[in-house]
Amino acid sequence: CGDLRQALRDKKDGEAVRMEVLRGRTRHAIVASVKERETPRLLQLDELNAGAHYVLALCNAGVGRRDRSVHHDRVAVYLDPGFAMPRLHLGLMLRREGDRQGARVELGHARSLLEREDSARLLMFGGGFSRSALLALCGAELELTGAEG
């Protein structure tokens, strides 16, 4: 956990770690995009499904549709305020865009929620990352926004 944070702070190692995390998230988004045709069907059956909205957020982010991605993340958060992953995804996007305050809010919520997120839901939506890796990512990204650890 501390090694990951240190690597993220170090410019060269941090970029490599961030790229590896993004590759993992991108692989997850690619797999999710295969399901992009199926997810709208799920929304037709249950438009209040936070998980389906989160998957659509990943799909849209994976193909560069940022506004639609943000929309689906926000809908997922609205539908299930205890769901950590859409907040983490939204926080990462906001930080990359330079919205440090927005990123702090979302990443702070994500970190708090990840501590008690259901293990099965982390397995399903966590992109293959463990709870501790996602918590370390939140902490490191929060530090990059200037927030206190």
The residues near 38 (Cβ < 8 Å, ≥ 6 apart) are none
Nearest partner of 102 among 112, 115, 114, 92, judged by Cα: 92
What sign results for the dihedral spanned by CA atoms 89, 127, 31, 49? negative
* pLDDT above 70: percentage of residues in the chain: 70
pLDDT at 1: 44
Low-confidence ranges of the chain (pLDDT < 70): 1-43, 148-149
pLDDT digits (tens, 9 = 90+) for 105-128: 999 999 999 999 999 989 889 888
Single-letter amino acid code for the residue at 18:
R
pLDDT at 24: 55
